[in-house]
Homo-oligomer: A and B are copies of this chain.
Amino acid sequence: MYRIGELAQLCEVKADTLRFYEKHGLLSPSSRTDSGYRIYTEADAERLRFILRAKAVGFTLAEITELLSIELDKSNWACADVKGMVDDKLASVEAKIAELNHFQLSLQRLSQACCGGPESAEHCSILEALESNTDSIRCENDKHGFAEHEFTKACTDKQDPI
C-alpha cells in the first residue's frame, strides 16, 4: 500500500504524473483513505511498471491504454493483435529513424563544407546552401581568401580525428 508520493518515488515518476495517468484512465488507485488520499496496491504498482516498460519501448500513452485493455482481457485477444501493435509501432519508429537519418546526412554535409573558423559568415557555405536550391554544397576553402588564415582545413582534409 502506497500513498501517491511513495509510489511516485518508488517508480521514479512525479506524483503529478500519477494523477495525470489517472485522469487519462491508465492507472487508478485501488482505494482511497477516508480523507481522500489515494492508496495504491502492489498490483497498481505492477500496472504502473507495465506502463513504464511500454513507454520505454516507445509506445505512446494512447497505445498503452490499448495494451492495458488487452492485458486485462487476454483471452479475448490473439497474439496477432498484440504483435500487430508492436509491428505498427516498429514501422512508425523506423519511419522516424529514416527521416532523422536524412536530417543527419544533410547536416553532416553542411557541417563539412564550413570551416567553422572565426572568418566572417559572408561566404559561409552553410548559409549559401540554404539560400540556393541545389543539392550540392560548395566547400568554402577558396572563399575566405588565404590572407585571413593560411590553413583552413575545410573540405579537403575534413575528417574529424575521432
Q: Which A positions have Cβ atoms within 8 angstroms of B? A: 46, 49-50, 53-54, 56-58, 67, 70-71, 74-75, 77-84, 86-87, 89-90, 93-94, 96-97, 100-101, 103-104, 106-108, 110-111, 114-122, 124, 126-127, 129-131, 133, 140, 144
Say yes or no: B86 contacts A114, CB within 8 Å: yes
Given A90-B108, A100-B58, A107-B58, are A79 and B133 also a contact pair (CB < 8 Å)? no
Contacts of A77 in B (CB 8 A): 120-121
Contacts of A116 in B (CB 8 A): 79-80, 83-84, 87
Contacts of A56 in B (CB 8 A): 106
User: Shortest beta-carbon distance, A62 to chain B, in Å?
Assistant: 16
Say yes or no: A120 contacts B80, CB within 8 Å: no
